[in-house]
């Protein structure tokens, strides 16, 4: 009974999402929704590395940026179609994910955090200084969007309006999140968690931690790269200023407050922390301050995040209440 309810609920939600753009008059609002989708992908990708496997990656914005720049350069300098550019950018980011992941294999805790932070900053410096390739601090303008999808000689999706981008992102998110969900519930996902709990013990239950850790970094890099690639062809302008340490902190806040290591946590976190700055426009200067504060408070008082509150805290209180009766 419960299973069918879940499926029905999911289908209704999906229908709502598909119908959504037609109900929104304000294009800016749609823009925010699209941006929240990008952050859902980013938060979910960081969650794979930091939430599930317990390895703090403070250079995650670098993957985001590598995806964006790769896609841009593939399309603009090599003339590849955006439809090929995106997945290729994802693969290029995977390459860098493995490149960074290998030296990080033996590191953990603070060492890992600092090293990934260093890599993140080095990547950003590269974006700033490899001017012939990246155009430096000025960034790259005029990035083309995806070519229109033609279906049986009639225009299906032209990427002139935000609505098309919305549907593309919706499709991307659905596919990526389904993959992530499958991973989290699989033997590989359990291996991730085991490494988080006790890496040495994980080896002694037969997990090749080296292989799994690299796979983990590669996956996190891939989804971040896809998000970056979409961003590039949506906003049509990228610069090193987007892929900073602040960005990584924001994504980390989303994961921590949403719920480290959960599936829905990063989704909730991504949406909330994209809408929140909009609602709190008036106190924009306090934004990072509030994020920092929330991150510290969350990890101390609600380490399982918002999702944790719904999944364990509330049911436990209810159970307690029932038992006392």
Partner 1 sequence: MIPTTEIAQQAVNGLVMGGVYALIALGLTLIFGILDQANFAHGELYMIGAYATFYFSEFLGGSYPLALIFAMVAVACLGIFYEWLLFRPLRGMGHLPAIISSLGASIFLWNLALLIFGSTPRQMRTGLSEITLTFLGISLTVQRLLVLLITLGLILCLYLMIMKTRMGKAMRATAQDPEVAALLGIDINRIAEMTFIIGGALAAAAGALIGPIFLIYPAMGLMACLKAFVVVILGGLGNVVGAVIAGFALGVIESLGAGFISSAYKDVFAFLVLILVLWARPEGILGKTAKKAG
Partner 2 sequence: MESILNVEGLTKYFGGLAAVEDFDLYVKKGEILSLIGPNGAGKTTTFNLITRLELPTRGKITFKGEGITELRPHEIVERGIARTFQITRVFRKMTLLENVAVAQHLTIRPNLWSTLVSPSEKKREKEGLKKAEAMLQFVNLFPKREELAANLSLGEQKRLELAIALSMDPELLLLDEPVAGMNPKETEEIIDLIGIIREKGITVFLIEHDMKMVMDISERIIVLNYGKKIAEGSPKEVSQNPVVLEAYLGRRHP
Q: Which residues bind partner 1 (CB under 8 A)?
A: 54, 56, 103, 106-111, 113-115, 117-118, 121-122, 125, 200, 245, 249, 252-253, 256, 285-286, 288-289, 291-300, 303
Q: Is 141 in the site for partner 2 (CB under 8 A)?
A: no
Q: Is 199 in the site for partner 2 (CB under 8 A)?
A: no
User: Which one of 188, 235, 290, 309 is in contact with partner 2 (CB under 8 A)?
Assistant: 188
Q: Is 187 in the site for partner 2 (CB under 8 A)?
A: yes
| Piece of the chain touching partner 2 by CB under 8 A; list 108-116, 123-131, 191-199, 288-296 | 191-199
Reduced 3-state DSSP string for the chain: CHHHHHHHHHHHHHHHHHHHHHHCCCHHHHHHHHHHHHHHHHHHHHHHHHHHCCCCCCCHHHHHHHHHHHHHHHHHHHCCCHHHHHHHHHHHHHHHHHHHHCCCCCCCHHHHHHHHHHHHHHHHHHHHHCHHHHCHHHCECCCCCCCCEEECCEEEECCCCHHHHHHHHHHHHHHHHHHHHHHHCCHHHHHHHHHHHCHHHHHHCCCCHHHHHHHHHHHHHHHHHHHHHHHHHHHCCECHHHCCHHHHHHHHHHHHHHHCCCCHHHHHHHHHHHHHHHHCHHHHHHHHHHHHHHHHHHHHHCCCHHHHHHHHHHHHHHHHHHHHC
Q: Is 193 in the site for partner 2 (CB under 8 A)?
A: yes
Instruction: Choose from partner 2, partner 1, none: what does 4 bind? Cβ within 5-8 Å by kind.
Output: none
Name the minimum Å distance from CB 261 to partner 2.
8
Q: Is 319 in the site for partner 2 (CB under 8 A)?
A: no
Cα–Cα nearest to 39, from 220, 243, 274: 274
Q: Is 181 in the site for partner 2 (CB under 8 A)?
A: no
Instruction: Choose from partner 2, partner 1, none: what does 143 bind? Cβ within 5-8 Å by kind.
Output: none
Number of chain residues interacting with partner 2 (CB under 8 A): 24
Q: Is 32 in the site for partner 2 (CB under 8 A)?
A: no
Instruction: Choose from partner 1, partner 2, none: what does 295 bind? Cβ within 5-8 Å by kind.
Output: partner 1
User: Which one of 108, 190, 236, 287 is in contact with partner 2 (CB under 8 A)?
Assistant: 190
Name the minimum Å distance from CB 311 to partner 2.
12
Q: Is 194 in the site for partner 2 (CB under 8 A)?
A: yes
245: which residues sit within 8 A by CB, 6+ positions away? Answer: 58, 61, 117, 120, 121, 124
Binding residues for partner 2 restricted to 217-256, rule: CB under 8 A: 219
Name the minimum Å distance from CB 137 to partner 2.
37
CA dihedral sign, ordered 273, 274, 278, 284: positive
Q: Which is nearer to partner 1, 225 or 261 (CB)?
A: 261
Instruction: Choose from partner 1, partner 2, none: what does 296 bind? Cβ within 5-8 Å by kind.
Output: partner 1
The pair phi, psi for residue 141, each rounded to 5°, is -100, 165
Name the minimum Å distance from CB 95 to partner 2.
15
Give residues in contact with partner 2 (CB under 8 A): 179, 182-183, 186-188, 190-191, 193-194, 197-198, 200-209, 215, 219
């Amino acid at each position: 009974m419960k299973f069918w309810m879940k499926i029905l609920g999911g289908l209704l939600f999906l229908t709502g999402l598909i119908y959504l753009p037609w109900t929104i008059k304000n294009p800016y609002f749609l823009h925010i929704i699209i941006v929240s989708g990008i952050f859902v992908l980013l938060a979910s990708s960081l969650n794979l590395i930091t939430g599930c496997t317990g390895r703090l990656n403070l250079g995650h914005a670098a993957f985001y940026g590598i995806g964006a720049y790769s896609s841009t350069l593939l399309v603009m300098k090599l003339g590849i179609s955006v439809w090929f550019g995106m997945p290729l950018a994802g693969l290029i980011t995977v390459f860098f994910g493995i490149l960074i992941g290998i030296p990080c294999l033996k590191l953990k805790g603070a060492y890992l955090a600092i090293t990934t932070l260093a890599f993140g900053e080095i990547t950003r410096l590269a974006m700033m200084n490899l001017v012939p390739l990246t155009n430096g601090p000025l960034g790259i303008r005029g990035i083309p969007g995806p070519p229109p999808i033609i279906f049986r000689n009639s225009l299906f999706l032209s990427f002139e309006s935000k609505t098309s981008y919305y549907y593309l992102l919706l499709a991307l998110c659905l596919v990526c999140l389904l993959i992530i969900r499958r991973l989290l519930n699989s033997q590989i996902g359990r291996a991730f968690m085991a490494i988080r709990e006790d890496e040495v013990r994980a080896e002694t239950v037969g997990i090749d931690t080296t292989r799994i850790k690299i796979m983990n970094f590669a996956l996190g890099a891939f989804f971040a790269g896809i998000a970056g690639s979409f961003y590039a062809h949506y906003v049509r302008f990228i610069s090193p200023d987007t892929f900073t340490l602040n960005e990584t902190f924001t994504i980390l806040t989303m994961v921590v407050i949403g719920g480290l290591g959960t599936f829905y946590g990063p989704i909730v976190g991504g949406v909330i922390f994209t809408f929140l700055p909009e609602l709190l426009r008036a106190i924009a200067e306090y934004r990072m301050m509030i994020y920092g504060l929330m991150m510290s408070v969350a990890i101390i008082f609600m380490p399982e995040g918002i999702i944790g509150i719904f999944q364990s805290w509330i049911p436990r209180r209810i159970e307690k209440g029932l038992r006392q009766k």
